[in-house]
Amino acid sequence: MKDLVKYFKMMKYALQAKMIFILAIIFFVLGILFEFTDFSGHSSSYSLACLYLALTAMYFYQLVFTTTVSRLVQSSPMKKRLQTVAPTVVTLITSLFNFAVYVTIRLIRITPQFLEDNNTTYTNTYSTILFMALWFFLFSVYLSISYKSFIISMVIIAVSVIAVLVFGSTTNVFINITGKLLINGSNPVLLIAVSLGLILIGALVGYIISLLLYKKPISDMSVRYALRQASK
């Protein structure tokens, strides 16, 4: 617990920490607003609310990892933890919090009356939960690579984003999977459990990748501005 508190305290030393934190808040607020205003509709699994809330967690990874750019941390015994354990744990906590907020809103809002008024089903409306978990998984893997192999990570995330957006907005893949996971056609307990499992697996995979890439130098392209500032 002491280490966890230390990780969060270290974020204030990240380069451009205030701006990154403000962006995280903006994306979180927009995610909540999009969810309440049903900006993305009810006919597909695609959800801007899910995407924005997932992006919020990505900013917290950046807040932790970029503290290691400074010369002081480079020579510190905390360097390895701040590039592997710390960003993974902080991002996971943020992801689980955002996921819990989103799911809670869904559970409160998705009532029989809501479904009737919007001419939709439990399967359609709950499929966004799985859609959100997949974003967390992808971002966890992407972030673990991004600061060490910028080009490779960009290719991976670009292909992944296109694939998810296409499948989420034009197919029934997420809806079909959700239908199989809903208990009695309306109870999302199993769906939520599977989604949580996907988020945890994503964090684990990301952590393992960060360990494998730890000795690889930080890519200048991924934090060019931060490195330039640190060298002054």
Q: What is the pLDDT of residue 229?
A: 45
Question: Is the per-residue pLDDT at 230 higher than 60?
Answer: no
| pLDDT higher at 11 or 231 | 11
Q: Total structural domains in the chain?
A: 1
Q: What is the pLDDT of residue 224?
A: 60
Q: Distance between CA 62 and CA 205 in Å, rounded?
A: 18
pTM (two decimals): 0.86
Q: Which of 58-72, 92-106, 152-166 has the lowest mean pLDDT?
A: 58-72
| pLDDT higher at 103 or 225 | 103
The parent domain of residue 183 ranges over 2-230
Rounded (10°) angle between helices 122-146 and 150-170: 170
Please tell me the total number of residues recorded for the chain in this structure: 232
Question: Is the per-residue pLDDT at 101 higher than 90?
Answer: yes
pLDDT digits (tens, 9 = 90+) for 178-189: 999 999 999 999
pLDDT digits (tens, 9 = 90+) for 22-71: 989 999 999 999 888 875 555 567 788 888 999 898 888 888 888 776 66
Q: What is the pLDDT of residue 20?
A: 86
Question: Is the per-residue pLDDT at 227 higher than 60?
Answer: no
| pLDDT higher at 117 or 196 | 196
pLDDT digits (tens, 9 = 90+) for 197-224: 999 999 999 999 999 998 888 776 666 6
